[in-house]
Amino acid sequence: MINMENISREQAVARAFSLQVSPHRFLLGIIGKPGAGKSTFTQFLLEQLSKEFVAILPMDGFHLSNEDLNALGRRERKGAPDTFDVANFVKTLHEVKSGIGTDIYFPLFDRAQEASIPNAGLISAQAQLVIVEGNYLLHAQEGWSEVRSYLDESWFLNIDDQLRIQRLIARHISFGKSPEDAKAWSEGTDEANARLIQNSAKNANYVVRLD
């Protein structure tokens, strides 16, 4: 464990506010299980901060394509650690960490299309705080171990698991899965990934209580 302590949502906002005036570009990792509300929480933080100097880099844009996953026999496990282009994600983190003064483009994941859109996201040259959001930022296997070295600080989002799974099922349904398939995926593939993510929580600097 690094220095893991529990903080409230309000304390997290105050902490983020201080980080956006860091003397160097600061990379803050936001980690959580599927359905924990990472994107919602990240957008909430952004609304409290100076948008001109803050950028968001979601890990989801680095999903391997469905065609590649089919070829690798991993389509039914989409969302697992080995279904992402980790090498390209690490390369982008390196560019972000060292590239202040330069606009950096990155892929964004479109849930409606179940596909990543190249160069759809932008980290502007003047961004001082970059919030990196994703499941496996503290994962230590399958090429992910390098990711942690680029993060100046990491927060793990803590939420009631029953509520999280309910939200996850609703999200899958909203993007086209039947209620039966949404429940099966949420309690199967997603929960297998959730256990891996929970194992990495001990490496976070802070746990943010969301419930």
Question: How confident is the model over 44-54, as a mean pLDDT?
Answer: 90
pLDDT over 60 (residue 1): no
Which residues have C-beta within 8 Å of that of residue 119, sequence separation ≥ 6?
Answer: 105, 106, 107
pLDDT band at 127 (very low <50, low <70, confident <90, very high): very high
Of residues 108, 106, 110, the one with CA closest to residue 94: 106
Residue 126 structure tokens: 């003047």
Reduce the secondary structure of 40-75 to three states and give it as a string: HHHHHHHHHCCHHHEEEEEHHHHECCHHHHHHHCCH
Q: Output the pLDDT for position 2.
A: 45
Lowest mean pLDDT among 58-72, 98-112, 127-141: 98-112
Average pLDDT value for residue range 128-153: 94
Going by pLDDT thresholds of 50, 70 and 90, the confidence category of residue 4 is low
| pLDDT one-digit tens code per residue, 70-89 | 999 999 899 999 999 999 99
CA dihedral of 118, 79, 73, 117, whole degrees rounded to 10: -10
Q: Domain map of the chain by residue range? A: 5-209
In CATH terms, the superfamily for domain 5-209 is P-loop containing nucleotide triphosphate hydrolases (3.40.50.300)
Amino acid symbol at 181: D
Instruction: Give the span between the Cα atoms of 211 and 89, in whole angstroms.
Output: 30
Provide the pLDDT for residue 111: 84
Q: How far is 115 from 156, CA to CA, in rounded Å?
A: 26
State what percent of residues in the chain have pLDDT above 90: 76
**C-beta separation of 12 from 204 below 8 A:** no
